[in-house]
Amino acid sequence: MTAIVNVFLKEGVLDPQGKAAHHALDSLGFEGVKDVRIGKQIVLQLDTDDKAKAEAEVKEMCETLLANTVIEDYNIEIK
């Protein structure tokens, strides 16, 4: 089973990478971009066929290590 975790800064938290990318896109002539937020994606290969167990375990991983829940949100997709 594969778990895909997307981690991104919470709304209201300054995203300097996103601001730099937005500025660069503007400089390159891409005018239709209103905002850019930079995050990270973590792909985990899990040794289980139990989707509920996998989701619970990955949530615990996120809360413990993979995301800084003070300033970041995350979502989990189990495939």
> Domain containing 35 — which CATH number?
3.30.1280.10
> For residue 35, with 0-12 CB atoms within 10 Å meaning exposed, 13-18 middle and 19 or more buried, which class applies?
exposed
What is the pTM for the complete model shown?
Answer: 0.86
Token pair 């040794």 is found at 47
Is residue 4 within 8 Å of residue 45, measured between CB atoms?
no
Domain enclosing residue 68, as ranges: 2-78
Give the span between the Cα atoms of 25 and 40, in whole angstroms: 19
- Give the pLDDT band (50/70/90) at residue 27: very high
pLDDT at 39: 97
Q: How many domains does the chain have?
A: 1
